[in-house]
């Protein structure tokens, strides 16, 4: 499928997906969301160990959902639009491989929501974050009320959502919304450096760790530890575990084949 709003490139085990609608600061419209769902459902994760997500240009990651499209929606259309976005972001969150958001500018509304669906968020010092939907007469509709509270706690999430306040990258770092902040020209090199560090590790182990963290979050302790122990044990059936531990004992660098 040829995409209008997506660009994808893969180098080695690291893929980079760019959301590209620069005329609207990469705003999320129905077509872009549909393309994202198609891309994620057809992505070959067998040859992939890390996915980087970023926005086209140096001004915006994703400025939000497309207000020019939403302005004319009725209740039924609004439901389907919000549901499509939430589904797409769950697909992103549920990818078996780690995902890193490289936030290169405005990260508002739907942009903040798609960033939160990624495992790790690195931001440019020029990035700005917020859920300003209440100023438009709506609420976050692409899972923002759920994920923001999970990431930064209910109190801070309520403050940002109720006020619609936009915050700078340093405050986003302080409250735990992003993992790190870099100068604009350092952002992608730092993201790529992290991606390379992740990609060199045993991919089955990394995927199992992601599955544990994502699924454990809503489990009680007994179920969470049972899941962790099962996935821990599964690692011992892999060649990667044998190679990794043998290399460690020999004081050599391990090479993992994902088997």
Q: What is the pLDDT of residue 257?
A: 86
Is residue 255 predicted with pLDDT exceeding 90?
no
H-run or E-run covering 7: strand 6-11
Q: What is the pLDDT of residue 127?
A: 98
Position 68 confidence tier, pLDDT thresholds 50, 70, 90:
very high
Within a domain: 19:
yes
Tell whether 139 and 211 lie within a shared domain.
Answer: no
Within a domain: 256:
no
Is residue 218 predicted with pLDDT exceeding 90?
no
Range of the domain at 232: 203-249
Tell whether 74 and 163 lie within a shared domain.
Answer: yes
Mean pLDDT computed over every residue of the chain:
95
Q: What is the pLDDT of residue 230?
A: 87
Tell whether 102 and 130 lie within a shared domain.
Answer: yes
Tell whether 236 and 221 lie within a shared domain.
Answer: yes
Tell whether 176 and 210 lie within a shared domain.
Answer: no
Cβ-contact 91, 53 below 8 angstroms? no
Give the residues across from 10 on adjacent strands: 15
Within a domain: 1:
no
**What is the maximum span of the chain, computed from C-alpha positions, in angstroms?**
65
List, as one string, the DSSP characters of 175-212.
TTS-SEEE-HHHHHHHHHHHHHHHHTS-HHHHHHHHHH
Average pLDDT over residues 38-65: 96
Within a domain: 59:
yes
Tell whether 129 and 240 lie within a shared domain.
Answer: no
CATH code where residue 224 lies: 1.10.12.10
pLDDT tens digits, residue range 87-135? 999 999 999 999 999 999 999 999 999 999 999 999 999 999 999 999 9
Please indicate whether residue 133 is annotated as part of the active site: yes
Q: What is the pLDDT of residue 160?
A: 98
Q: What is the pLDDT of residue 244?
A: 86
pTM for this one? 0.95
Q: What is the pLDDT of residue 176?
A: 98
Percent of the chain scoring above 70 in pLDDT? 100
87 burial type by CB count under 10 A (0-12 exposed, 13-18 middle, 19+ buried): middle
CATH code where residue 88 lies: 3.90.226.10
Tell whether 222 and 147 lie within a shared domain.
Answer: no
Rounded CA separation 99/79 (Å): 27
Catalytic residue among 93, 113, 186, 193: 113
Residue length of the chain: 259
Within a domain: 156:
yes
Catalytic residue among 69, 93, 133, 193: 133
Domain count for the chain, please give it. 2
**Last-in-domain residue among 184, 199, 214:** 199
Tell whether 160 and 123 lie within a shared domain.
Answer: yes
Tell whether 227 and 117 lie within a shared domain.
Answer: no
Q: What is the pLDDT of residue 106?
A: 97
Within a domain: 257:
no
Please indicate whether residue 11 is annotated as part of the active site: no
The dihedral sign for the CA sequence 64, 68, 71, 74:
negative
Tell whether 124 and 148 lie within a shared domain.
Answer: yes
Tell whether 53 and 106 lie within a shared domain.
Answer: yes
Tell whether 112 and 126 lie within a shared domain.
Answer: yes
Q: What is the pLDDT of residue 67?
A: 93
pLDDT tens digits, residue range 150-203? 999 999 999 999 999 999 999 999 999 999 999 999 999 999 999 999 999 999
């Amino acid at each position: 499928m040829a995409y209008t709003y997506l660009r994808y490139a893969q180098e080695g085990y690291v893929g980079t997906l760019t959301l590209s609608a620069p005329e609207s600061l990469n705003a999320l419209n129905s077509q872009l969301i549909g393309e994202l769902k198609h891309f994620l459902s057809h992505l070959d994760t067998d040859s992939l160990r890390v996915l980087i997500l970023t926005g086209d240009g140096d001004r915006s990651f994703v400025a939000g959902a497309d207000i020019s499209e939403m302005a004319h929606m009725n209740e039924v259309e609004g439901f389907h639009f919000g549901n499509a976005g939430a589904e797409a972001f769950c697909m992103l969150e549920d990818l078996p491989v780690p995902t890193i958001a490289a936030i290169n500018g405005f990260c508002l509304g739907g942009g903040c929501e798609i960033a939160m669906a990624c495992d790790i968020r690195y931001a440019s010092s020029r990035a700005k974050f917020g859920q300003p939907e209440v100023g438009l007469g709506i609420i976050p509709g692409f899972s923002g009320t759920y994920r923001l509270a999970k990431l930064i706690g209910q109190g801070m999430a309520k403050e940002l959502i109720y006020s619609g306040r936009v915050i700078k990258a340093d405050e986003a770092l302080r409250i735990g919304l992003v993992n790190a902040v870099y100068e604009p020209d350092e952002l992608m090199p730092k993201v790529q450096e992290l991606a390379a560090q992740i990609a060199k590790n045993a991919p089955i182990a990394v995927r199992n760790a992601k599955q544990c963290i994502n699924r454990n979050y809503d489990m009680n302790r007994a179920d969470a530890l049972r899941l962790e122990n099962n996935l821990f044990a599964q690692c011992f059936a892999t060649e990667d575990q044998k190679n990794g531990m043998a290399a460690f004992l020999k004081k050599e660098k391990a090479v993992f084949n994902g088997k």
